[in-house]
Structure 1
Amino acid sequence: MIGVQLFEMYRVSVIVPYYNNADTIHRCVRSIFEQEPDSKFQIVEVIVIDDGSSIPCPAFEDRSYSNTVLKLVRKPNGGAASARNYGLDRVDSPDFVAFLDADDAWYPEKTRLMIGEMLANNAAIAGSLSVSHTFYRSDPSQNTILVRFWDQLKTNRFLTSTTIIDVRGMEIDEIHFPEDQWYAEEGDVFLKILHGKKGILVNQVLIDYSSGKAAFGQAGASAKLWKMQAGEIRNYYRVCKRGHMSFCLLPPFLVYSFLKYIRRVLITQLKRENKRA
């Protein structure tokens, strides 16, 4: 069992998977240390996991900045899911776990605003908008957007680097990522958490996401549209096997997923044509 509150302030652990991100890792970690302080929580540790990089993660000069412990661990390459799980297995009794990829950076107010909204809304998971991900913004006067299980099942609302999870009372394997899946694997975790619970999106841009990389159609894993599609389908099957959705509902969700895939392909092709123009 994790997430037993031992101190007056909530304990936050941050997990950063690293793979050949030498140019951005210091910016990433610095953005964690520069989070605005708050009386409700303390970031107690940052765990950077070097996932068998050919460009090893550089050593950090300051390993005990403020009251936060910075840990650098190395493991054989196994993918982002494996790296995040490796970090999860080494957290020190947190109340909240946050994830940040090594090529992303948080805005200074991110943790303060998000944990405050999570506590106010009794949310098990929270995400935010990012520089290039404002597609869920609705009424700007809304502080948060409610996310339920069925909302998440239709479309992934969360970017992993924006995500904070309230792990109080949870078992560690409840937030383990499927290591046999390299694309859309985070969606399975979010669906497990949201079954019987609620999540929120903080209706603000609070992260610089890979210097503006789009959700699909550009560099990195998000450019592999078909593999992302296959990952989403696997998530649907896992949901059914857990008994969280009837297998009778699987066919319409597969059709819906395929239509989303066609749309992504068309948008990607249109972007490429516009670039050539």
Structure 2
Amino acid sequence: MSTNGHGRVSVIIPCYNCAATITAALDSIVNQTLAAFEVLCIDDCSKDDTVAVITRYAARLAAERPDAPRIVLHRMAQNGGPSPARNAGWSMAAGDYVAFLDSDDVWHPRKLEAQMQVMLGTGCFGSSHARKVDLAPVQDLQTNARLAALQPVPMTLGSLLYRSRIITSSVILRNTPDYRFPEDMRYCEDFKLWCQILSDEQTFMLLDVPLSGIVGGHEATPGLSAAVVKMEKGKLSVFRGLYRDGRISWFQFVTAIAFSNLKFVIRRLQSLF
């Protein structure tokens, strides 16, 4: 299946020292049942062979699969973290929609097909799917029956405050200059963007089926998301900003902090046993 002129998807991958995982990520895009329009690999000043691996992959793909999406490599002038890299790719994107994939994640082959069917069918601004599973289950997952019977559900800001169900590698958005990832945050910057979108009352649909996974599974080397304490501080900062800007009520602010603190304590206690 291929995209048409009204549903072209630009895939954006921030890359930093990901030579060991980027091939699997790119393979999962190339093997989609719904072809991406382009793949924008934004290298954030990697110190390993990331650039060489992407360059070789792009050249081989162009020679062997002329029908495959083009792979564009862009190198940042200085290391700035995921947000500036994603925003650089977003500004370059020529597709009608943008999809985000982390360099150590992979997609189920029907990920783009399933989400774009929802995006085009409902006219929603954005969509995501259930949380990540390990690489092997993603490859072996039998999703046909689940996707056929699936009823996407709308996300709300209220539900997101108490249960963060949106992961970056699951998200597809309409391509618009109205939104970008905040570049003044290193943790929970994606959560802040999702909250902004939902607080603007944009329609955001959730597919409750896992369609992405981590290269190497949960035992893989952790990235920024492993810094649990800093992630919690980042989330609390987002809550304060939402309340300060009048996007949530005092009650939502207080209960969101309470729920977040409780979940944080539970996670810390579980890590001790």
Measured against the shorter chain, the TM-score band is: 0.7 to 0.9
Aligned AA for 1:72?
Answer: L
Q: What SS does structure 1 have at the residue aligned with 2:271?
A: helix
Q: Which residue of 1 aligns with 2:263?
A: 260
TM-score, normalised relative to structure 1: 0.81
TM-score, normalised relative to structure 2: 0.82
Q: Which residue of 1 aligns with 2:165?
A: 157
Q: Structure 1 CA distance, aligned partners of 2:26 and 2:134?
A: 21
How large is the Cα RMSD of the aligned pairs?
A: 2.5
The alignment of Structure 1 onto Structure 2 pairs a total of residues equal to 248
Cα offset for 1:67?
5.5
Q: Structure 2 CA distance, aligned partners of 1:84 and 1:213?
A: 24
Aligned AA for 2:26?
Answer: V
Q: 1:8 to 1:57 in 2, by over 3 A?
A: closer
Deviation string 1:217-268 (CA, Å, 9 cap, x unpaired) is x822222111000110111122223321134642332222211211121222
Q: Which residue of 2 aligns with 1:206?
A: 211
Which shifted more, 176-185 or 53-62?
Answer: 53-62
Q: Which residue of 2 aligns with 1:90?
A: 92
Q: Which runs of 4+ in 1 moved over 4 A?
A: none
Q: Which residue of 2 aligns with 1:120?
A: 121
Q: What SS does structure 1 have at the residue aligned with 2:262?
A: helix
Q: Which residue of 1 aligns with 2:51?
A: 57
Please tell me whether the aligned partners of residues 149 and 197 of structure 1 are also in contact (alpha carbons under 8 angstroms).
no
Unpaired segments ≥5 residues, structure 1: 1-6, 135-139, 271-277
Deviation string 1:131-176 (CA, Å, 9 cap, x unpaired) is 2599xxxxx6543233112111222111111111123xx4x241x1
Deviation string 1:119-138 (CA, Å, 9 cap, x unpaired) is 3333322111232599xxxx
Q: Structure 2 CA distance, aligned partners of 1:198 and 1:263?
A: 32
Please tell me whether the aligned partners of residues 21 and 57 of structure 1 are also in contact (alpha carbons under 8 angstroms).
no
Which shifted more, 243-252 or 24-33?
Answer: 243-252
Please tell me whether the aligned partners of residues 119 and 127 of structure 2 are also in contact (alpha carbons under 8 angstroms).
yes
Please tell me whether the aligned partners of residues 18 and 51 of structure 1 are also in contact (alpha carbons under 8 angstroms).
yes
Q: Which residue of 2 aligns with 1:110?
A: 111
Q: What percent identity do the matched residue pairs reach?
A: 30
Structure number with higher helix proportion: 2
Unpaired segments ≥5 residues, structure 2: 138-145
Deviation string 1:51-83 (CA, Å, 9 cap, x unpaired) is 111114221324644252211011111111121
Please tell me whether the aligned partners of residues 149 and 198 of structure 1 are also in contact (alpha carbons under 8 angstroms).
no
Aligned AA for 2:23?
Answer: H
